[in-house]
Amino acid sequence: MVDESKKIKPVKKEKIIDTCISLYEKISFDDVTIRKICNKLNVSTASIYLSFSTKEEIFVAILIQEIMKWNERLEGLLEYEGTLDDDEFLSEIANTVEERKLLLKIIGLDLYAIEDMSSIESLVRYKEEYKKCMFLFEFCLEKYKTNIDSERRIQIVHAFFQYTKGLYLTAYPTKKQKLVMKNAKIPYEGKSLYELSYQFLNLIL
């Protein structure tokens, strides 16, 4: 147990975020607590509260970090000076989705609970980065799919980002969900985030 009486030790936000992620990889959002993060870092709860007021605020920081990584990848596609054929472009975009498994997990499973207990300020920052991601994807479409007009590009962007919100649930069903689908005779294809993204983009582009 952490000794609450000991001197408060400042902890880097990055360490708190990384520890929260490591817990979230093994247990559910509900089971991740400030106390468990403290125990992993061997610090008092007050040390965490110097940086984050709630567990949910830590998860918003993770969302921002993840969406910024996605933005960097899309910016890389925009800066690429070579050419991509249709298959290569779809593959590149699908790869950027595959790399954001953590982001899609949080969005698919726990976003409502996180937003409910987070500050307006932190959520606005996340939404700003999310909006940037949508614009970057639109710019990628403009660069690599020149046959698509601006109105259609906007429709594709919105459809794609709505689709990604449920991607994690489709790619990673629970054992119980698989059993229910089997008993209900609903085919389960077991496709990855990459395959699902590629398939969807191929249908709408």
pLDDT digits (tens, 9 = 90+) for 110-150: 999 999 999 999 999 999 999 999 999 999 999 999 999 99
Determine the distance from the C-alpha atom of residue 76 to the mean position of all C-alpha atoms in its chain, rounded to a whole number: 19
Distance CA 60, CA 16 (A): 12
Please report the pLDDT score of residue 3 as a whole number: 53
Distance CA 140, CA 79 (A): 10
Amino acid at position 19, single letter: T
63-103 pLDDT tens trace: 999 999 999 999 999 999 999 999 999 999 999 999 999 99
Distance CA 168, CA 111 (A): 13
On whether the CB atoms of residues 164 and 197 are closer than 8 A, the answer is yes
Q: How far from 117 is each of 34, 185, 186, CA to CA, in Å?
A: 14, 39, 36
